[in-house]
């Protein structure tokens, strides 16, 4: 596609429910990244993939958070048993090549509100 897309754009859920956030990277991009952005803060790294392999998940806050990219394209970030503190903007980015200095292109984000 022309850019990174994310769905849904907005998600309201009740505490305790599971949510799945989807990211569709730019076609052909090798690397895919997930970030979380609290209000008034910059994005913070969660995890990233090269192709289908998860390379680093050190930013995932706890084991309720998981991510996958089974075919090396679309990725899903899943939050189980959501809590109010999970409310944030979740951002996905992709880069053409793997490697630590490649420019990352961001999608519009998914705003999650846990009631």
Partner 1 sequence: GNSVTQMEGPVTLSEEAFLTINCTYTATGYPSLFWYVQYPGEGLQLLLKATKADDKGSNKGFEATYRKETTSFHLEKGSVQVSDSAVYFCAFLGGNTPLVFGKGTRLSVIA
1 touches partner 1 (CB under 8 A):
no
Size of the site for partner 1 (CB under 8 A): 24
Length of the chain (residues): 115
CA gap 30, 37 in Å, rounded: 23
35 touches partner 1 (CB under 8 A):
yes
Q: Which of 19, 32, 43, 69 binds partner 1 (CB under 8 A)?
A: 43
**Closer CB to partner 1, 72 or 108, in the complex:** 108
Q: Which of 32, 91, 94, 114 binds partner 1 (CB under 8 A)?
A: 91
> Are the C-beta atoms of residues 89 and 109 closer than 8 Å to each other?
yes
41 touches partner 1 (CB under 8 A):
yes
108 touches partner 1 (CB under 8 A):
yes
The CB-of-77 to partner 1 minimum distance in angstroms stands at 15
Site for partner 1, rule CB under 8 A:
4, 33, 35, 40-45, 48, 56, 59, 91, 93, 100-109
């Amino acid at each position: 596609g022309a850019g990174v897309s994310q769905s849904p754009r907005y998600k309201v859920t009740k505490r305790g429910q599971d949510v799945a956030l989807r990211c569709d990277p730019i076609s052909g991009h090798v690397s895919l990244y997930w970030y979380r952005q609290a209000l008034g803060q910059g994005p913070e790294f969660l995890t990233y993939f090269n192709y289908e392999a998860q390379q680093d998940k050190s930013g995932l806050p706890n084991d309720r958070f998981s991510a996958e990219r089974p075919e090396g394209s679309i990725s899903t970030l899943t939050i189980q048993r959501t809590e109010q503190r999970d409310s944030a903007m979740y951002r996905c980015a992709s880069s053409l090549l793997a490697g630590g200095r490649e420019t990352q292109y961001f999608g519009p984000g998914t705003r999650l509100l846990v009631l």
